[in-house]
């Protein structure tokens, strides 16, 4: 099983789930996605909705909520699950991206797996 951890800034929209499913469609081995969603308001409902969208698009998926600054949690989940890859989905943050203080840049510095940064496709 190819293990992917997805850290999303907020609940996934249908188009975001479709983009993730398209990334892993047709891979040589089955892919499992573990979604990390920062706690903010009705996080449990947003997590359930996001996981259901991933499953609707054919991915084996589960997830959990995490603190608002989730990089430490991301690192421990990657190690515990033996993850092969990390995908970080955010809105565009021009200043943070430029200064390399964004989640993806921080994860690349701390993790020993490939980190893909995708921008959300839908405006919620």
In a domain, 2, yes or no: no
In a domain, 25, yes or no: yes
Q: For 33-56, what is each residue's pLDDT tens digit?
A: 999 999 876 889 999 999 999 999
Structural tokens at position 71: 């990089």
In a domain, 98, yes or no: no
Report the domain count for the chain. 1
Q: Which of 89, 95, 94, 83 is nearest to 116 (CA)?
A: 89
What is residue 105's three-state secondary structure?
Answer: helix
pTM summary value: 0.85
**At 69, which CATH number?**
3.40.50.620
In a domain, 14, yes or no: yes
Q: What's the mean per-residue pLDDT of the chain?
A: 88
In a domain, 84, yes or no: yes
Q: Measure CA 38 to chain center.
A: 10
In a domain, 102, yes or no: no
Domain boundaries, position 47: 10-89+109-119
């Amino acid at each position: 099983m190819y293990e992917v951890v997805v850290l999303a800034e907020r609940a996934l929209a249908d188009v975001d789930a479709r983009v993730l499913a398209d990334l892993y469609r047709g891979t040589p081995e089955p892919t499992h996605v573990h979604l990390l969603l920062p706690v903010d308001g009705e996080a449990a409902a947003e997590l359930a909705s996001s996981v259901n969208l991933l499953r609707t698009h054919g991915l084996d998926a589960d997830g959990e909520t995490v603190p608002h600054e989730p990089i430490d949690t991301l690192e421990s989940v990657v190690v515990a699950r033996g993850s092969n890859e990390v995908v970080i989905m955010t809105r565009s943050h021009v200043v943070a991206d430029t200064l390399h203080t964004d989640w993806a840049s921080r994860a690349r510095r701390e993790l020993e797996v490939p980190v893909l940064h995708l921008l959300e496709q839908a405006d919620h």
